[in-house]
Amino acid sequence: MKKFSISGRQFNYQNVDNAVNFWKFYLEKFYGGGSIESFFNSMKIRSPLYGGRPCNVEYSFSKPQVDALNAQGIGVMLTLSNHYFNQEAYAKTIPALERLDHPLNSAAIVNDQLAHRIAQDFPRIKRKASVIKLIKTLDEIHQALDLYHSVVLHPMLNDDADFLQSIDCKEHIVLFANSRCLYHCEKPICYKYISKQMITQGQWDKQVCHYKDNRQAVDSYTVFDLSQQQFTGFTAFKLIPVPDEHLQLDYRQKTLHKTAFISTSTGIRMIR
């Protein structure tokens, strides 16, 4: 059975049960079913080691939300995806890690020093090698799995059927089920920029983008067809924030509006 880690940015903060029911419905409609392994997000406890993407307080998780999800057998993946590490930043992160110290929970990590510290201090928290590490070869996967429990691969690799099927540890691999700009971007400078702001200032004030003058080149939205041959044997997938119109779906509906999609070589692209 497919299992999904879902962005927590679109989580219904008012009612955990309603949110979980909606996302179960969503997985059924768009991916033919699957279980929710975790929601990934930052926490309201702030950390300089957040990075990669903006981590607004208003959509970050609180401890009661983490506890409510864990009670349903669903984990929280903390996005500690900063490129940089220092002891002071780690000390400020310990309160968040203490609140997540449960075998259902995990952390998405880029910096290996941070991964080693979490392995030492919080061994119950699973370590996931973030997509931002840009792991692209089988040797790099094997090397990463000496430190991490799983590896998230770049969505661009979804197109390489031969490579995907050559992976001999598919049970430790996470693939993107959908994607936006990262799928097309060859120079994701935004991740390091926000990482630097977070670890030096404890917050981010703006983003940079290699495609800032031509956002149309990367801004389409793709839903990958997970029934295609290259995805055979993979069970873990990552779901980034979905289009706003998807959130307006009533989870009591029984039909999918197929006209919202057009086919592409590797997936189904949203008509925007």
Quote the CA–CA distance of 10 and 69 in Å, as a whole number: 15
pLDDT at 217: 55
- pLDDT at residue 268 above 80? no
> Span 190-210, mean pLDDT?
78
What is the tens place of the pLDDT at every residue in 136-171?
999 999 999 999 999 999 999 999 999 999 999 999
Strand residues in 124-226 grouped as ranges (E): 126-129, 150-152, 173-176, 178-179, 222-224
Nearest to 167 by CA among 211, 122, 232: 232
| SS3 state of residue 75 | strand
pLDDT score for 221: 79
- Grouping H, G, I as helix, E, B as strand and the rest as coil, residue 33 is coil
Residues paired with residue 41 on neighbouring β-strands, in sequence order? 78
pTM of the model: 0.87
Q: Does 218 have pLDDT greater than 70? A: no
Domain holding 206: CATH number?
A: 3.20.20
Domain carrying residue 11: 3-270
DSSP, residue by residue, 146-160: TT-SEEEPPGGGGG-
Give how many domains the chain has, as a whole number.
1
Give the per-residue pLDDT at 192.
85
CB 8 within 8 A of CB 55: no
